[in-house]
Amino acid sequence: MTSFFIDDIVAIKVSFGGRNDRRISTLKFQTNMNIGKNIINPKNILVIRLGAMGDIIHVIPAVKMVREALPSCKISWLVEDKNKDLVETVSEVDEVNVFPRSRWQLWLRHPERYFQLISEMFVFFKRLRAKRYDVVLDFHGNFKSGILGYLSASKIRVGFSRKYCKEFNYIFTNVRIAPPQKVMHRIEKYLSLVKGLGIEAYYQRPVFSVPEEYRDYINDFIRQNQLEHKPMAILHPGTSLFGKYKRWSPEKYANLSDKLIEDFGYSVVFTWSGKEYDIAEDIQSRMRFPSTIACKTASVKQLIALLQCAALYIGGDTGPTHLASCLGIPTIAIFGPKDPVIYAPYDDTALVVRKDIYCSPCAKRSCDHVTCIHSITPDDVYGKVCELRMKRSLTF
């Protein structure tokens, strides 16, 4: 049973067939949506998932289902500035609204900017309210996303129920969906949000739209480094600084890379972002065979274009790993502390490498020993590569 609350004026419990509840036989986002005594025309929907890359990728299948149910509806997505490019590749989204987190955080450290900050915040929220959203779908489920949804002035704000969101997010929503279980993959959790509204929802692999100019940039890189003659194995050894403790060691990446080149004839390419270039150089310095450090991918659109050229991808528990898997690339995900039941790549193109450690999985933000990641050997990952090649009958 799926139940939720509508509490703008009076709390009314509605369910699909609950024994003691007021019954609504059909509740769907269609031309007219009946909620209690109100009739809503959902012509303008705001999706809120501010970040990060992996979580945004996990929300896309749910947004695809909303688009299928409402082909003529305008769908906007509110996202933090650093993830804007990713959402722009989602064809189901009509408009991308940017929450300027990076700039506002910078201004908070400079008192002389406070007036400008307050002025810009006022304009931002005024514009958000002016959009007149009929429905907000808050997939993020924390205090910040709750505030943003509430300040949009939408009358229908859909989110997760109290036990399935964080930081009192539920106080800002008035339609609250309870997923069927506590521990479930993020994609399934996000699909449950739209299922709870009566929309038929099932997983479909995301499709990313990338302009030709970004593909041209990647094609130039491939030609200049003569990478078109061999199957390309992309390895992404970095993570965000926030997830630094989830990184596998450069020495092990080097050992594995040499095996991929020697045994299978791959061209090994290391992708990177920000300050991760030094990690790729460190790995190269430990290798016996030559490899390539990828060109700078200043936009996720460039990264998508590069990943689409790969025959194999190997990386840690990080956004590009989920991106590679969603693109249908044979993917090996090296997992340490996080629970793969919740966070692993979802597609059947991916395999997970992890060790059963007494303290893993865990929800810690840092760790002194990270035995779970350090105990994984190059042979462990190599074995999964062989398994994946056999599973997919790959001959490259």
Look at the pTM and tell me if it is higher than 0.85. yes
pLDDT at residue 106, rounded to an integer: 92
pLDDT at residue 92, rounded to an integer: 97
For the chain, 396 residues long, the average pLDDT of each consecutive 10-residue run is 34 30 32 40 91 95 96 97 96 97 92 94 96 97 97 96 96 96 96 94 95 97 96 95 87 98 98 94 98 96 98 96 96 94 93 92 83 96 95 62
Instruction: Please check whether residue 165 is in contact with residue 142, taking contact to mean a CB–CB distance below 8 angstroms.
Output: yes
Number of helices (H) and strands (E) in the chain: give both, helices first. 14, 17
Of 76, 92, 73, 74, which Cα lies nearest the Cα of 32? 73
For the chain, the first-to-last Cα distance in angstroms comes to: 48
Q: 327 by DSSP, 3-state: which? A: coil
Q: Return the DSSP state at 243.
A: G
pLDDT at residue 393, rounded to an integer: 67
CA distance 197 to 109: 42
A 10 A CB-CB count for 313 gives 26
Q: Which domains does the chain have, with CATH numbers?
A: 3-195 (3.40.50.2000), 212-391 (3.40.50.2000)
pLDDT at residue 7, rounded to an integer: 36
pLDDT at residue 394, rounded to an integer: 53
pLDDT at residue 8, rounded to an integer: 34
**For the stretch 16-43, what's the b/e string if a residue is b when 16 or more beta carbons lie within 10 angstroms of its beta carbon?**
beeeeeeeeeebebeeebebeeeeeebe
Q: Which residue in the block uniquely carries the two structure tokens 């992996």?
A: 54
Here the tokens at position 274 are 């920000």
